[in-house]
Structure 1
Amino acid sequence: MAGQNDTQLDRIEGLLSQVLDRLSRMEERQNAQSAQLESQRAQLTEHSQRLRDIELQHAVSVATTKQEGKRLLGRWGAMFSIFLVILGAIGSVLGKAVLELIKGAS
């Protein structure tokens, strides 16, 4: 009976040893996966920050482009106004000359 109990105890100890080995391997895998998850979380945070920076740069670029466009339109508007003033002055001079010719011809 004692020999039979020893073999049962040996089997139980062997099974417990296998269970402990499996638990150890599971714990090692869990630790490795946890480290990998932390690494991926850090990468995600970095990518998120880069994306925010790029979005900000894009918004600044769009705003700057709109301001430059308005400035250019303002410059062209000013040049056109000057052109109209000069054209009006030329028209006035020509009108006076034509009137003088008409008065002189009569």
Structure 2
Amino acid sequence: MDEGSIVSIQTITEAVDPQWEIGLLMAFAVGFIVYRLLTHIVERPRVSQPHTSAIDRHFRNVFAIMDEPRRQSLVSYYMQKYECGREQAMRHAIDDRERDQRRYS
């Protein structure tokens, strides 16, 4: 009886088609390649975005109600007023805005 069960096990393992294993490996390989391509495409726009400094992000948050041309005009005004660079002008604009808020609160 033990021999019969061994023979039946061998018969079952021999009956399995090895092509499904190859198909499964191919499916994993194709899935991995598609996954890598999609992650590359999704990450690509983030890399191409210009680097914004912390002061630039803070300036955009403080003056979020303004449209972009108005914000640029404000930066230009402070650059001329204080004869300084772009980031320093943004700091002056933020400081003036905070000073006004404290004054009228």
Q: Same fold (TM over 0.5)?
A: no
Higher relative contact order (CA 8 A, sep 6+): 2
Question: Which has a greater percent of helix?
Answer: 1
Largest Rg, 1 or 2? 1
Report the TM range for the smaller structure's normalisation: 0.3 to 0.5
